[in-house]
Structure 1
Amino acid sequence: MTGAWTIVLTAVFAATGLYGVWRLSTRRWQGIETVVDVSHALMSPAMLVMLWWPMAATGQWAQMAVFSGLAVVFFYQLSGLDSIAERAGAMAHAGMNLGMVWMLAAMPRLMSGDAWTTMLSWSAVGLLVITAGWWLIHAARTPGHRALCGCHGLSCAGMATMLALMTPAL
């Protein structure tokens, strides 16, 4: 990864992580919204570790368990949500957490140029790009939640960019 991308992605993940921590520190427990903030507060440092120390296996299995657990929480929330936008948001957060699990699991195989890993990674990049676009459109249409939806979109776009940079061409 080039120095310019490293700087840009560092800024993205630092900003989204700090936003999640700020929201956690200024609000009381608010159910799934708090889980969203915890997700950002945990995912951003994990992305920074992957960015700066790509071959580090720092708690890889523990991270995979945490992000898988968060995805399950978001999937579980689907049954209690009323609107399509709420369900799409829960699915987007579940997908982002599963994207994180995929990045952790696939990183060593991506370095070897394994074909099936490459194809699945490009599929994940596509889904993350679509999800980032959904969040950014949602931010433009939802005046009271622009910063929050923008944070989600930025985080998702950063994940898509980083995974694309890590994945060999087909």
Structure 2
Amino acid sequence: MLTGAWTVVLTVVFAATGLYCVWRLAARRSQGHETVVDVSHVLMSPAMLVMLWWPMASTGKWAQIAVFGGLAVVFFRHLSGSDTVPERAGAMAHAAMSLGMVWMLVAMPLLMSGDAWTTLLSWAAVGLLAITAGWWLTHAARAAGHRVLCSCHAASCAGMATMLALMTPAI
């Protein structure tokens, strides 16, 4: 379990992003594929909070892996129907976040064992999540009218990258 300021910061990040997407769903701010995106954040936020506060909890681990793996497939499938580069990049970013979630669920016990391959793969996932967070921040600066939503995605992704980095041993 992480302790100190990181626990507080990550709790705020995941609670805020989850609540924002709950609000979007309740206010019907999202339509079509955006609904899937919001639902994925609503599911991911409490899963991250459970991982943060009860890292050894295995309740529903395989169900979560199935859900987030399924969401990754949905986001990859959305690529074929995307017309613009930002839409495609957004689908890839959400697929990366979903796969990052799957990796965190699978890797947590493996990271405790100190296997070199697990450590290397985790650092690669941290890098991918950090790059994805950077993409969302860049998109937030360019996408008038979607800045809050893109910032929400960036915060969620950066929170995931930070948490995985804090869980992963140094190389």
Aligned residue in 1 for 2:125: 124
Query: 2 CA distance for matches of 1:153 and 1:94?
Result: 14
Instruction: Give 1:2 shift.
Output: 2.6
Query: 1 CA distance for matches of 2:82 and 2:46?
Result: 29
Aligned residue in 2 for 1:64: 65
Query: 1 CA distance for matches of 2:51 and 2:165?
Result: 14
Aligned residue in 1 for 2:49: 48
Matches for 1:1-170 after TM superposition, within 5 Å: 1-27=2-28, 30-170=31-171
Runs of 4+ in 1 over 4 A off after TM superposition: none
Query: 2 CA distance for matches of 1:137 and 1:37?
Result: 20
The SS at the match of 2:146 is helix
TM-score, normalization by structure 1: 0.98
Matched AA of 1:101: V
Instruction: Give 1:143 shift.
Output: 1.2
Matched AA of 1:47: M
TM-score, normalization by structure 2: 0.98
Contact in 1 for aligned 2:24/2:30 (Cα 8 Å):
no
Label 1:146 to 1:28 Cα distance change in 2 as closer, same or farther (>3 A). closer
Query: 2 CA distance for matches of 1:99 and 1:32?
Result: 20
Query: 2 CA distance for matches of 1:154 and 1:28?
Result: 19
Matched AA of 2:117: W
Query: 1 CA distance for matches of 2:155 and 2:17?
Result: 7
Label 1:85 to 1:39 Cα distance change in 2 as closer, same or farther (>3 A). same
Query: 1 CA distance for matches of 2:72 and 2:100?
Result: 10
Q: Percent identity?
A: 80
Query: 2 CA distance for matches of 1:81 and 1:108?
Result: 37
Label 1:38 to 1:153 Cα distance change in 2 as closer, same or farther (>3 A). same
The SS at the match of 1:143 is coil
The SS at the match of 2:169 is coil
Query: 2 CA distance for matches of 1:45 and 1:116?
Result: 28
Matched AA of 1:95: A
The SS at the match of 1:82 is coil
Query: 2 CA distance for matches of 1:157 and 1:32?
Result: 22
Query: 1 CA distance for matches of 2:50 and 2:112?
Result: 17
Instruction: Give 1:3 shift.
Output: 1.3
Q: For the aligned residues, what is the CA RMSD?
A: 0.9
Instruction: Give 1:28 shift.
Output: 7.0
